[in-house]
Chains A and B, each alone.
Chain A
Amino acid sequence: MSEALIQAKELTKTFGRGKKAVTAVEDFNLLVKAREVVTLVGPSGCGKSTVLNMVAGFMSSTSGQILLKGEPVTSVEPQCGMIFQSYALFPWMTVQENVEFGPRVNRLPKAERLDRARRYIEMVGLNGFEDAYPNQLSGGMRQRVALCRALANEPEVLLCDEPFAALDAMTRQVMQEELLRIVDRSGQTVLFITHSIDEALILSDRIIVMSARPGRVKEMIENHLPRPRHVDMQLGEDFLRMKRGIWKMVEEEVVASMK
């Protein structure tokens, strides 16, 4: 068990009280090992984001707990770097200032801050955009900045809340490749939420299919597709077979969630 980086134990989250109470997540168990990329897939409203928000410490659980390296998460956890679907960049800061934000509030010496910013800006290919403000950039570039900002804080795990959902299909594929390249190179642990089975198959080592509300683990699938992966493998036989299998599981839940 020592290799578990994140562990969710019998996690339950209920919103509201009395008759209006809604259980979003119930008895949810999860184990993410270091250097692993795990995706959570499931229908809208199945509690994927709720799970992620609890891991990040934005929300407390109604019962059960989350352990990060064996320690319970009780408040906002900077070791879990979050990438939001809406980018959540600071519009009054330049790219450089956004990237330096984490190191700055954590009081890293200036030289190290600059060094980190340089390294990660280079890594995500933002060179030349250091002085731009977020509203001068396209959606894809903004998400690159968000990724860069999270990485510059060197978190234990990267939490991704459908980060590419707002991007157009082509930009999305480019960003998936980019994330894969960075993860392969740095060994970053990632917990990724998505609606897209394709995205899950391309990115992850393990796929967790969640049931319709209340969210539970319906199925866990080891993804043995060979690495390094590229977007064009979406046309391969293995890929399509796995996709079909996962879609069957997800479909039942989507239908259930619409009732």
Chain B
Amino acid sequence: MDEEPLGLWTIAVIGAIAVVGFIAAWETAVRIGIIDAFFLPAPSMIIKRAYAMAATGEKILLHDVWKSATRVLIGFMLSAAVGVPLGLLMGMSKYVRAALNPIVSIIRPLPALSWIPLSMLWLGIGEQQKFAIVFMGCFASVLVYTVAATLRVDVILQRAARNLGASRLQVIRHVTLPVALPNILSGLKVVLAIAWTCVISAEMVGANSGLGFRIWTGKEWSDTGQVLVGMISISLTVLILDILFRGVEWLLLPWQREGTGT
């Protein structure tokens, strides 16, 4: 009988042992020379490099994290601020949907990277260009997720609200929005990851700060330590943002916190 799910502590302990084991194996492999430290530095060397980048040497790591994260967040919020209302409108009106679907279908397949040349010609390599890249990379996805979430709202609930005397506007505010919200939020979570891809790519091509830029210059100088510190910083920042995002969800969706299912 192995059907019982693992307890939280058990999961944490197994996870910790695996991580420690992995790092120890990596460290040993570099130390005894199985892996060439030039191509893949040992964890201890990466930590030393990170410490130098953050505090003793260049002191640019936190600045880079901050730069990339603000670019991601501002671009992401812009795309959500435009995409969510427009997506709701498309989800609720078959006419708006019919009008905008062809346009969305043309924009959507374009990878964010393909916007880099145009955006650089228009906006240079400043902050605005980064926001624009994130916006163009995220906007269509936000739209598609929001439309899908809105269309999934059960007609019966809207009928019930109308039946209780709610006007069309009240139905949108009191029923359509709260029902679509959880799905919109989980869509936005996926889009947030897309936003990171956009920013890192944009920073690699043309920027003078940010994690993407730092990784790219690390490669130029054959500083694998710097490349890895940049990559790990992306992981950790995304992880932290994800936790924050879950907090937002927890705050916005109180009715999903507990329950007996069905």
Contacts and interface: CB of A to CB of B under 8 A. Distances in A.
Interface in B132-157: 154, 156-157
Interface in A74-106: 76-78, 80-82, 84, 86, 88-93, 101-102, 105-106
B163 A86 contact: no
A116 B179 CA distance: 26
Contacts of B258: 133, 136
Contacts of A133: 255, 258-259
A171 B202 CA distance: 62
Interface stretch (B2-10, B107-115, B164-172, B239-247): B164-172
B33 interface: no
Nearest to A76: B162
Pick the most buried of B164, B170, B174, B254: most chain A CB atoms within 10 A of its CB: B164
Contacts of A90: 157, 160-161, 174-175, 178
Contacts of B178: 90, 92
Interface residues of A, number: 26
A135 B260 CA distance: 6
A105 B260 contact: no
B166 A105 contact: yes
Contacts of B179: 92
A225 B161 CA distance: 36
A15 interface: no
A150 B161 CA distance: 10
A80 B255 CA distance: 29
Which label, helix, strand, loop or mixed, suits the secondary structure of the B interface? helix
B63 interface: no
Nearest to A53: B159
Contact of A136 (B154, B156, B161, B260): B260
Contacts of A105: 161, 164-167, 170, 174
A126 B253 CA distance: 24
Contacts of B259: 133, 135-136
Nearest to A153: B164
Given A77-B163, A101-B164, A135-B261, 16 more contacts: A58-B163, A76-B159, A81-B164, A82-B159, A82-B163, A84-B159, A84-B160, A88-B159, A89-B160, A90-B157, A92-B256, A105-B164, A105-B165, A105-B166, A136-B260, A153-B165
Which 6 A-B residue pairings sit nearest by Cβ, starting from the closest? A78-B165, A102-B164, A88-B160, A92-B255, A135-B259, A76-B162
Interface of A: 56, 58, 76-78, 80-82, 84, 86, 88-93, 101-102, 105-106, 133, 135-136, 149-150, 153
28 contacts: A58-B159, A58-B162, A76-B159, A78-B162, A78-B164, A86-B156, A88-B156, A88-B157, A88-B159, A88-B160, A89-B160, A90-B157, A92-B179, A92-B254, A93-B255, A101-B161, A101-B166, A102-B164, A105-B161, A105-B165, A106-B164, A133-B258, A133-B259, A135-B259, A135-B261, A136-B258, A149-B164, A153-B164
